Amino acid sequence: MWYARMPHTFHANRQYHINCRKGDLAEYLLVPGDPDRVPKIAKHWDFAKEISRRREFCSFTGEYKGVPVSALSSGIGPACMAIVVNEASRIGVQTFIRVGSTGAISKGINCGDLIISSAAVRLDCTSNCYIIPEYPATANYEVLLALIEAAESLGITNYHVGVTATTADFYAGQNRAPSSNYPPIAPNLLKILQKAGVLNFEMEAATLFTLANLHGLRAGTVCAVYANRCTNQFKEGAGEENAIKVANEAVRLLFEWDKRKRRTGKKWLFPSLLKKKL
């Protein structure tokens, strides 16, 4: 893999925050939070070039196993993710896959495991600016299936599938008291979510799912578990490489599935379609 570095420039015909224009990003976009994770993703590609670095938004475009793909960091939090979805969708992105890190809230999940989100609890506040709170934040089923298939095909079996809680804040929002003077306003939130079977805390998935669905786009999330709130374990970077591999391979699968749908004139992916000879 190689990549070319681009100068830090801004032009009027580019989207204001992400500094990208039509043609800069592929239809399939991987979205890590950390800008430093973008080149880590791109090192697995056949080739890549840096498109832009502006604020927390770092973008690369290239190919993975012959499939056009891009990566664009969102920074931390739901408001930044909303910027990415709004601006990237204006210039042609159709499928978003968040490649993140997360904290588990279930005893059965270890540091280094992966969590593939099927849906998210909307504690992000940002999505409420777009639609009523009752609107569900769900992953696109094709992206969800591609992430699971990618993990299995790569021999990565330490993954979990389920509901994620997306919060607007890392501290009080996730039941961490920043100080004795400011305890969390919902002190039982962690226990409530655990009892409901929610797997993890993070800060972007619900916003991504909600906005993607409102835009008629596809979105999914795979996160590496860096911490577990039940066991008080913390291992920074644990599972990151596997999350990246799964996300890249999911793009290849989606590309092949999309091609199959076009050839057969089908709008929706279904199991028997994947078995048909073309």
Active site residues: 17, 87, 176, 229
**Contact between 52 and 16 (Cβ < 8 Å):** no
**Of residues 227, 261, 271, the one with CA closest to residue 95:** 261
d(CA 18, CA 142): 26
Q: How many CB atoms lie within 10 A of CB 35?
A: 18
What are the backbone dihedrals phi and psi of residue 206, each rounded to the nearest 5 degrees, phi first? -60, -40
**Of residues 92, 89, 95, 94, the one with CA closest to residue 22:** 92
d(CA 95, CA 209): 11
User: What burial letters (b/e) apply to 160-169, b meaning 16+ CB within 10 Å?
Assistant: beebbbbbbb
Tokens of 93: 């992105």
d(CA 20, CA 60): 10
d(CA 25, CA 64): 14
**What is the enclosing helix (H) or strand (E) of 30?**
strand 28-31
**Of residues 225, 49, 217, 252, the one with CA closest to residue 147:** 252
What are the backbone dihedrals phi and psi of residue 150, each rounded to the nearest 5 degrees, phi first? -60, -45
